[in-house]
Structure 1
Amino acid sequence: MSIWLAGASVVSGHDGGTYVGAPWRGVLHTTEGPSITSAVGEFTAHNSWPHLTIDPIAKQAVQHVPLDVAARSLAHPLGTPETNRANCVQIEIVGIATESPTWSSDSLEFIAGWMRMVEEKVPIPRQSGMVFKSYPASAGLANGVRMNAADWAVFSGWCGHQHVPHQDHGDPGDIDIDHLCSPRILGLGSAPSTPGPAAVSRSPRSMDVVLARAAQAPRALSWGGDTWSAAPIQVGDGQVPAGGIVGVAGVARGSDVVDTFWVGADGSLQTAWWTRSAGWSASHLRIGDPAIPATMDGGIAALGRRPGIIDVFFVGLDGRLHTTWWTGPTGWATPTLTLAGTLPVDVTGGVSVVNRTRDILDVFCVGEDGGLYTVQWTANSGWAAAATMIANPLGGVVGSCGCAAVARDHHHVDAVFVGRDAHLYAVRWDETAGWSAHVRIDTGSAMSASTVAGPAMLARKRDVLDVFWLDVTGRLLTTWWTEAHGWSGAAQQLGAPSARMIPTLSPTAIARRSTTIDVFAVDWNYAVNTIGWTASTGWASTFSTLNLTGL
């Protein structure tokens, strides 16, 4: 069956024939013209059709060739390795290579959205590893970044025309490939599930942290690439319950909008929002059915699976899993749906959600029986009638810890949780084998895990997982998994040896790029601490304390 992408109009072109078999890769081009119409004229004149042409300003997309056959946009000199037919999906972007470094986050989000749709249909990994040079230095056969035949034969991920061997083109210039391949784009990843701070990344150069405590409205701080804002800003005007810290969930639907969610003092589900033009909203909005209050002990999960859709999940005081949602055209839904049939859910437990494709949601919760359950939604079938138990270790799962879940690509989902024996476990799903048996992953830790605070997990690349948790003394620990070696078997303490966080409040972690990690946790002064990792320097040696005082 020919693979055409929903949402793209069709202007048919000539394909390049069948693929010859190679690692899947995507190639980005720039049209060097002002419109899709002018680009189609060039493709027609030179018979150089790509699979897709997209216009990030006009927000239009046109498909010319099905994804299951080759396109024709690359040169293939006689006697050289295959280019177009080497399992290569090609996207022409309306624009000029010299201007691509200055394209707005909104344009990059649009481009990334179409890259994600391609990845859903063919197994191109969300990664690059290539250096994108500015045009015109990126042009020419010997531009310093172009692959040779051997490198091209094994490359899998996203590259530019400037990287393909035996070409002289330099497009798309120095486009922000880190942004386009960011783990945060379209919500693939884990959501905060238990009380603690929420952190989101609107772009690779921005972070927002929100904390809710002690009978006040939540407070937020922002980071803009160099420094954190000097003072916290109040988020809305809805009070949280008195005493302690409650769960907060955050969603970055794009570079210009952040939505945050918490449970109010009366059990109502509340939201406030930030926009680039207006900042944080001065008031909050109650959402969902007021007849179904949320538990204050559990957490909230929120996901922006598309820029115009938000899904929110929570555990109600009735011991059931619930959801409500928002769409751009209609606003917040009036009803609150009950999920997972009649499954009794641990009312102290958290919730996590992932979207491994734009049209599939997997939600995770802990049942009263101590089992870890998941329930799925698909665009074709809606919500499953019942939840599926995916793990039930000896003694069960600690409900108050919930679980952290991540979709590291469209074909794999991983979840980690704390067992009642105070150890950390992982379980994995792939579309061929289904759910695996759970395995213990904190074997390198000399201390038991906290049985109150949940773990955090992220996938900064499709073949790497990083997990963070607190032990019973408040040490922040991390372990990791790679596709090549499996779980590390090590547990590394972050920060100074004497650093201690509150072991009842969950950490949270974000990957702004595939080469950076930022982790946030709350210390005994109720201050949010952060520590960072980069691929070039490793972990910072100490925590930095954020100014979220006045709570």
Structure 2
Amino acid sequence: MTSRSGGNLDLFTVGSDGVVYTTWWYAGNDWGAITGDWRPIGGYFPAHAKVTAISKSPNSIDLFVTGNDGRVYTSWWYEGQDWSGVENNWRPIGGFFPAGAPVSVTSRNAGNLDAFVTGNDGRVYTSWWYAGSDWSGVNDNWRSIGGVFPAGAPVGAITKTPNSIDLFITGNDGRVYTSWWYEGQEWSGLNDNWRSIGGFFPANAPVTPITKSGNSIDLFITGNDGRVYTSWWYAGSEWSGLNDSWRSIGGFFPVGAPVSVTSRNAGNLDAFVAGNDGRVYTSWWYAGSDWSGVNDNWRSIGGFFPAGTPVTAITKSSNSIDLFITGNDKKVYTSWWYEGQDWSGVNDNWRPIAPGVPQPSISLEAIQVPGEGRFVEVTGRGFTHNNGVEVDYDLFVGAGPTTHQFGQDDLSTNGAGDFVDRITVNSDISGANVQAKDLTSGVAVFASL
């Protein structure tokens, strides 16, 4: 998910077929996937692998996925051009990592990207790009910057200033570790010297870092008891969570569930988690006040999703937040908030970002083709595109007493959701009943002749 301006959102997902799909929103228009469908932009990756998107400038997006072969692949878009990876032309930029391992990426300016992955050996690896140069890690030349962590563990990466990067990861011992880089200096965690900043959490649990100003970092993680914990740092001070002193801010969620956090200004944080009951919960903080969700008082804002499913949260402006989550039906759902209004998805009213249930129709015509014979031609419109249709028929045939010619045809629709099925008629025909069922939506339609 990226936002290149206050009036834009771009959303990406890896489908069950391993292809990356995208849909986009511009102010004044609906989501592309609702008026049309999600657009495939190539690739062949582990099903539902995490795709990382970043916008290093208002007119560009870069995507990253770890492939089935353990290499990191990228595709990029610049305004006025198509995606570089269409037609399965994603570029491998090296590495040998666990298939589907999450890639974390930061951008310190429009001419820079830094990528991070945890390898099969538990070490964190990095590759970097500067405008005018190639990726440093091509030819499997990613650089190890130390650590001994669970293979493929998610790395939380954040840049609080244009000349710094901070990394966070949960170790095998359940403690959170950090390594930092400042321009002109080496990574602090080299030689397996990552610093423990406390906690006792599920090994491999994702740590969410956020910077609400250039001199602060806040961390969030869900503990073994299902509560959300936080630790914070301000320039000139130590981490608040040292000596296993992370603060519980309530909740009762799946152990290790990912926490998504936004900051709309230096005095605000909003946190989101999918609960054990499948509802999305939120807690918020404003400078001078405590977290709203302490004492397990997180607010339910609706939905019915798989427990602990990652919630993607983004703020495209200082007075708005948009949330995205994948449902039990594999559709992506959204809920949004604007200052002065309540969440759109309360009362389980989250909106699916998908075409509406198709409203298919069929028509029948008895035809005779010279040299080929008699047919009942079934023409279908408005079915799910490029998907299966089951056509069941009962033809009334025979010149004397009417007999029934039963049968079933299985076929696929074209890219527009249409099909034509010619059913061979064995004799004279006096009538027909035909049902066509969309195998994706389950909608069935009927016609008679």
State the TM-score, normalizing by the size of structure 2: 0.71
Pick the aligned partner of 1:534 from 333, 338, 344: 338
Output one character per residue of 1:357-416: Cα deviation in whole Å (capped at 9) or x when no partner. Answer: 000100111111111111101102131132111122xxx222343111101101110010
Alpha-carbon offset, residue 500 of structure 1: 1.5
Residue 217 (structure 1) aligned with residue 19 (structure 2):
yes
Match of 1:420 in 2: 224
Structure 1: 4+ residue segments shifted above 6 A: 548-551
Residue 404 (structure 1) aligned with residue 208 (structure 2):
yes
Pick the aligned partner of 2:310 from 506, 522, 533: 506
* Counterpart residue identity of residue 306, structure 2: I
Q: 1:508 to 1:344 in 2, by over 3 A?
A: same
Describe how 1:35-434 pairs up with structure 2 within 5 A: 199-226=1-28, 227-229=30-32, 230-235=36-41, 237-242=42-47, 245-281=48-84, 282=86, 283-289=89-95, 292-296=96-100, 298-333=101-136, 334=138, 335-339=141-145, 341=146, 343-347=147-151, 349-384=153-188, 385=190, 386-392=193-199, 396-434=200-238
Query: Bigger relative contact order, structure 1 or 2, given CA contacts below 8 A and separation 6+?
Result: 1
8 Å contact kept, 1:350–1:399: no
Alpha-carbon offset, residue 301 of structure 1: 1.1
* Residues in 2 aligned to 1:451 and 1:219: alpha-carbon distance in whole angstroms: 30
Q: Secondary structure of the residue that 2:316 maps to in structure 1?
A: coil
Match of 1:491 in 2: 298
Looking at secondary structure, tell me which structure has more helix per residue: 1
Alpha-carbon offset, residue 452 of structure 1: 5.0
Q: Secondary structure of the residue that 2:46 maps to in structure 1?
A: coil
- Superposed CA RMSD: 2.0
Q: 1:475 to 1:440 in 2, by over 3 A?
A: farther
Output one character per residue of 1:31-68: Cα deviation in whole Å (capped at 9) or x when no partner. Answer: xxxxxxxxxxxxxxxxxxxxxxxxxxxxxxxxxxxxxx
Q: 1:239 to 1:345 in 2, by over 3 A?
A: same
* Counterpart residue identity of residue 511, structure 1: T
Alpha-carbon offset, residue 220 of structure 1: 0.6
8 Å contact kept, 2:224–2:256: no
* Counterpart residue identity of residue 330, structure 1: S
Alpha-carbon offset, residue 439 of structure 1: 4.0
8 Å contact kept, 2:206–2:256: no
Match of 1:449 in 2: 253
State the TM-score, normalizing by the size of structure 1: 0.58
Looking at secondary structure, tell me which structure has more strand per residue: 2
* Residues in 2 aligned to 1:211 and 1:452: alpha-carbon distance in whole angstroms: 22
Q: 1:295 to 1:388 in 2, by over 3 A?
A: farther
Q: 1:399 to 1:207 in 2, by over 3 A?
A: farther
8 Å contact kept, 2:105–2:115: yes
* Residues in 1 aligned to 2:144 and 2:306: alpha-carbon distance in whole angstroms: 33
Output one character per residue of 1:231-257: Cα deviation in whole Å (capped at 9) or x when no partner. Answer: 21122x321114xx2212110111210
Q: 1:213 to 1:317 in 2, by over 3 A?
A: farther
* Residues in 2 aligned to 1:349 and 1:468: alpha-carbon distance in whole angstroms: 21
* Residues in 2 aligned to 1:457 and 1:347: alpha-carbon distance in whole angstroms: 25
Q: Secondary structure of the residue that 2:230 maps to in structure 1?
A: strand
Match of 2:372 in 1: none
* Residues in 2 aligned to 1:348 and 1:293: alpha-carbon distance in whole angstroms: 7
8 Å contact kept, 2:208–2:261: yes
Q: 1:434 to 1:320 in 2, by over 3 A?
A: same
8 Å contact kept, 1:295–1:315: no
Residue 544 (structure 1) aligned with residue 346 (structure 2):
no
Alpha-carbon offset, residue 305 of structure 1: 1.5
* Residues in 2 aligned to 1:362 and 1:397: alpha-carbon distance in whole angstroms: 20
8 Å contact kept, 1:259–1:274: yes
8 Å contact kept, 1:319–1:344: yes
Pick the aligned partner of 1:481 from 278, 285, 299: 285
Alpha-carbon offset, residue 442 of structure 1: 4.2
Q: 1:312 to 1:532 in 2, by over 3 A?
A: same
Q: 1:501 to 1:400 in 2, by over 3 A?
A: farther
Q: Secondary structure of the residue that 1:487 maps to in structure 2?
A: coil
Match of 1:516 in 2: 320
8 Å contact kept, 1:417–1:454: yes
Q: Which ranges of structure 2 fall in alignment gaps of 5 or more residues?
A: 356-383, 388-449
* Residues in 2 aligned to 1:264 and 1:241: alpha-carbon distance in whole angstroms: 6
Alpha-carbon offset, residue 484 of structure 1: 0.9
Match of 1:143 in 2: none
Identity percentage of aligned residues: 24
Q: Secondary structure of the residue that 2:2 maps to in structure 1?
A: strand
* Residues in 2 aligned to 1:391 and 1:248: alpha-carbon distance in whole angstroms: 29
* Counterpart residue identity of residue 37, structure 2: A
* Counterpart residue identity of residue 332, structure 1: W
Alpha-carbon offset, residue 538 of structure 1: 2.9
Alpha-carbon offset, residue 511 of structure 1: 0.5
* Residues in 1 aligned to 2:152 and 2:272: alpha-carbon distance in whole angstroms: 20
Match of 1:24 in 2: none
* Residues in 2 aligned to 1:365 and 1:217: alpha-carbon distance in whole angstroms: 28
* Counterpart residue identity of residue 208, structure 1: D
Output one character per residue of 1:17-36: Cα deviation in whole Å (capped at 9) or x when no partner. Answer: xxxxxxxxxxxxxxxxxxxx
8 Å contact kept, 1:364–1:372: yes
Alpha-carbon offset, residue 453 of structure 1: 3.6
